[in-house]
C-alpha cells in the first residue's frame, strides 16, 4: 500500500517513529549490566519515566539518583555510562528514515517530540537528524496543547506512533491528516487515521 500525499507541513515524532527506542533502552540496560541486571535496570527505567510530575518523561540524571539510592551505584558512573549510549544515537535511527527525510527536503519538516528537553535534545543532536528539520520542538506538555509554529490546515500531516496522542491531535486539529506508524503493530487500524508499519509505505 502506498499513500500519495503532497503536504506542505509535516509534524514528525521522534521515539518509535524515527528512533528505535526499544533498541535504545536495551542498549542502555546492557551498558550497565556489570552493575545491575538488565531486567532490574529496565524496571527502574520505567519507574523514572512514570515518576515525572508532568507525565511520562525520562532523564539520565533522575535515573542515576534512583540507582544510587536503591542499588548503591554511584550516580556519576551511571551518568557517564548512559550518556555514552546517547552519543551513539545515530545507531538507533530506523533504516527507512534517511531515505524518507531526503525525499521530503522540499517540504516543511518539523520534529515534534514529547519528553525531558535536555534528554531528548541530546538524542536528537547525536542522531544526525537535525539537518532535515526546519524546526525542532521538544515539549514536556501534551502535544495537542502547545503552540505550533505553522497554521494547521489540510496540507498538514502529523506522523506519530502514539495512539492516544493521535486521537488528541485529531480532536484538536480535525483539518489535518494523521498518519500513525506502528513499527510492531501494537494496535489495530483506526478509522480516524491511516496506520502504517514503515515509512516506505508513504508515497515518495
**141-198, pLDDT tens digit by residue?**
778 888 898 899 999 999 999 998 999 999 999 999 999 999 987 667 777 788 999 9
Helix (H, G, I), strand (E, B) or coil at 111: strand
Superfamily of domain 9-19+94-201: HAD superfamily/HAD-like (3.40.50.1000)
Q: Are 161 and 182 in contact (CB under 8 A)?
A: yes
pLDDT for 69-101, tens place per residue?
999 999 999 999 999 999 999 999 999 999 999
Integer Cα distance of 55 and 170 in angstroms: 20
pLDDT score of 65 more than 90 = yes
> What's the pTM value of the predicted model, to 2 decimals?
0.89
What whole-number percentage of the chain has pLDDT above 70?
92
Grid coordinates given for 143: 502535544
Contact 44, 61 (CB under 8 A): no
Q: What is the pLDDT of residues 10-48, one digit of tens each?
A: 999 999 999 999 999 999 999 999 999 999 999 999 999
Amino acid at each position: 500500500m502506498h499513500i500519495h500525499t503532497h503536504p506542505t507541513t509535516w509534524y514528525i515524532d521522534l521515539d518509535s517513529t524515527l528512533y528505535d527506542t526499544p533498541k535504545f533502552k536495551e542498549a542502555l540496560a546492557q551498558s550497565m549490566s556489570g552493575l545491575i541486571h538488565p531486567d532490574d535496570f529496565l524496571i527502574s527505567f520505567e519507574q523514572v519515566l512514570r515518576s515525572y510530575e508532568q507525565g511520562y518523561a525520562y532523564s539520565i540524571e533522575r535515573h542515576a539518583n534512583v540507582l544510587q539510592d536503591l542499588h548503591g551505584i554511584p550516580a556519576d558512573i551511571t551518568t557517564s555510562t548512559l550518556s555514552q549510549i546517547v552519543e551513539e544515537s545515530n545507531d538507533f535511527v530506523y533504516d527507512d528514515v534517511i531515505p524518507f527525510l531526503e525525499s521530503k527536503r522540499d517540504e516543511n519538516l518539523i520534529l515534534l517530540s514529547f519528553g525531558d528537553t535536555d534528554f531528548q535534545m541530546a538524542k536528537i543532536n547525536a542522531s544526525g537528524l537535525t539537518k532535515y528539520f526546519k524546526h525542532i520542538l521538544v515539549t514536556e506538555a501534551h502535544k495537542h496543547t502547545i503552540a505550533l509554529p505553522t497554521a494547521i490546515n489540510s496540507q498538514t500531516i502529523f506522523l506519530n506512533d502514539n495512539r492516544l496522542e493521535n486521537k488528541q491531535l485529531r480532536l484538536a486539529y480535525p483539518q489535518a491528516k494523521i498518519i500513525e506508524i506502528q513499527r510492531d503493530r501494537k494496535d489495530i487500524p483506526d478509522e480516524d487515521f491511516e496506520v502504517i508499519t514503515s515509512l516506505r509505505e508513504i508515497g515518495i
